[in-house]
Amino acid sequence: MPFSVNNSVTISEGQSQKLGHLLEQLQPQTEDFLDPRLFPSQKYDPTDVANFFFFVTGIDHRTSPPNQSFEGTVEGNYFQGADLLWHLSLRKFTENPRFFHPSSMAQITTATVRDWYTVMSPKRVTIRDPQERATLLRNCAKLLLENYAGSTLFLIEHAKNRVTPDPETNRAGLLQLLTQFKAYQDPAHKKSYLLLKFLLRRDLWSVIDLDLVRIPVDNHLTRIALRVGIVSVSLNLAHQLRMQKPVSSDTDVVLRSTIADAYSLVGQYAKRSVLELDDFFWHFGRQCCLTVNPICVTGCTMDCFVVEQLLAASCQGTCPLTDVCLASTDDMQRALIEPKIKTWYY
């Protein structure tokens, strides 16, 4: 039975301060989300681009099927995980931008999703749970057609440039509006904040309550937070995480929500928006602070996106967070990893 415990996660202000000050020195760069391998160019109609981000973000979760990695080579280029998801999505978009119109998504079948997200080289692999993803896409499309004239831009216009409710009128902000859609019902709002980041970075929207925005917490950001120590967990929960035993969905939400608050504190000390810092943390988690064999154990090849694109100075073959990370010298801290849970939330 999944382990469940409340009040088991606390923020470490000391570690958050240390990490924030380090990031203030490192000054990690941000992405523009114009990579031609993954995202539509600026030549396309903003309505089509916004719909593309809305639907693909809605199915951007846990891509690898059991005992396999969702990875492969497409037209001579290698992609893995989320990158492969976005590349294959972009191929559909460039073939026909209207593919991501809600009228098309409302009719999408499991077979279409399975074929769309299957690669054959170097071996055949299909994305995890194509049926679940088809269900999420149809639900998003149905509600977008019924309530927002089939336009993501019309949806976000209803939020009146607020992510959170208007304190005077209590009018719904973007987070509340998105919870209508099954794909965006995560209480910790991972996909919602990710969508917001795309919309802002691509100049498709602007917000007036940016100070209330949280970071989109997924597996990578959870693992980093636990290892660096910006949050502390109870002995019982720490044991469950180290042993990779299931936890309840409530425990997962409490953990990720507290971690989001901790990153906001880090952002205050770093004097940076958490959405900007998310670029660094997400790539750092998937390339450096790996679940197994993180670079504090294996060393760094210095041949990765973090070094080449996000850090102004080379990390010199060592983890750039070594000076503040508790896991760099503590095996038990390093053994803390993200919860084992089945979900489409992240």
Q: Tell me: the pLDDT tens digits for 89-129? A: 999 999 999 999 999 999 999 999 999 999 999 999 999 99
Q: Tell me: the pLDDT tens digits for 235-249? A: 999 999 999 999 999
Considering the chain, tell me which residue range(s) the CATH 1.10.1670 domain(s) occupy.
9-31+215-334
- 96: number of CA atoms within 13 Å, CB side? 6
Tell me how far apart the alpha carbons of residues 133 and 30 are, in angstroms, rounded to a whole number: 29
In the structure, what pLDDT confidence band is assigned to residue 4 with cuts at 50, 70 and 90?
very low
- 214: number of CA atoms within 13 Å, CB side? 20
Task: Please state the rounded mean pLDDT for residues 124-137.
Answer: 98
Task: Please state the rounded mean pLDDT for residues 211-234.
Answer: 98
Can you give the pLDDT at residue 77? 96
The one-letter code for the residue type at 203 is D
Whether a cis peptide bond, with omega within 30° of 0, leads into 320 is no
Tell me how far apart the alpha carbons of residues 178 and 216 are, in angstroms, rounded to a whole number: 14
Residue that has been written with the tokens 């600026």 in this structure: 42
Can you give the pLDDT at residue 7? 62
> Does residue 296 surpass a pLDDT of 50?
yes
Tell me how far apart the alpha carbons of residues 335 and 65 are, in angstroms, rounded to a whole number: 24
- Percent of the chain surpassing pLDDT 90: 91
Q: Tell me: the pLDDT tens digits for 15-56? A: 999 999 999 999 999 999 999 999 999 999 999 999 999 999
Q: Which residues contact 130 (CB under 8 A, 6 or more apart)?
A: 110, 113, 114, 117
Task: Please state the rounded mean pLDDT for residues 168-175.
Answer: 96
Tell me how far apart the alpha carbons of residues 179 and 39 are, in angstroms, rounded to a whole number: 25
Tell me how far apart the alpha carbons of residues 262 and 268 are, in angstroms, rounded to a whole number: 10
In the structure, what pLDDT confidence band is assigned to residue 310 with cuts at 50, 70 and 90?
confident
In the structure, what pLDDT confidence band is assigned to residue 57 with cuts at 50, 70 and 90?
very high
Angle at 213 between CA 208 and CA 219, to 5 degrees: 155
> Does residue 6 surpass a pLDDT of 60?
no
Can you give the pLDDT at residue 324? 98
> Does residue 270 surpass a pLDDT of 60?
yes
Using left for φ > 0, alpha for ψ between -120 and 50, and beta otherwise, residue 33 falls in left
The one-letter code for the residue type at 319 is C
In the structure, what pLDDT confidence band is assigned to residue 1 with cuts at 50, 70 and 90?
very low
In the structure, what pLDDT confidence band is assigned to residue 197 with cuts at 50, 70 and 90?
very high
Can you give the pLDDT at residue 318? 85
Can you give the pLDDT at residue 315? 72
> Does residue 312 surpass a pLDDT of 80?
no
Identify the sign of the CA torsion 11, 177, 34, 89: positive
**Residue bearing the bigger pLDDT, 305 or 69:** 69
**Residue bearing the bigger pLDDT, 44 or 309:** 44
> Does residue 87 surpass a pLDDT of 70?
yes
In the structure, what pLDDT confidence band is assigned to residue 302 with cuts at 50, 70 and 90?
low
Can you give the pLDDT at residue 218? 98
Tell me how far apart the alpha carbons of residues 208 and 161 are, in angstroms, rounded to a whole number: 6
Q: Which residues contact 1 (CB under 8 A, 6 or more apart)?
A: 246
Identify the sign of the CA torsion 276, 277, 280, 286: negative
DSSP annotation of 326: G
User: What string of DSSP letters covers 142-205?
Assistant: HHHHHHSTT-HHHHHHTTTT-SS--TTT----HHHHHTTSGGG--TT-HHHHHHHHHHHHTTS-
The overall average pLDDT reported for the chain is 95
In CATH, the number for domain 9-31+215-334 is: 1.10.1670
DSSP annotation of 329: S
Q: Count Cβ atoms below 10 Å from residue 188 Cβ, excluding itself.
A: 22
Of 254, 255, 246, the closest CA to residue 225 belongs to: 255
Of 6, 20, 14, the closest CA to residue 231 belongs to: 14
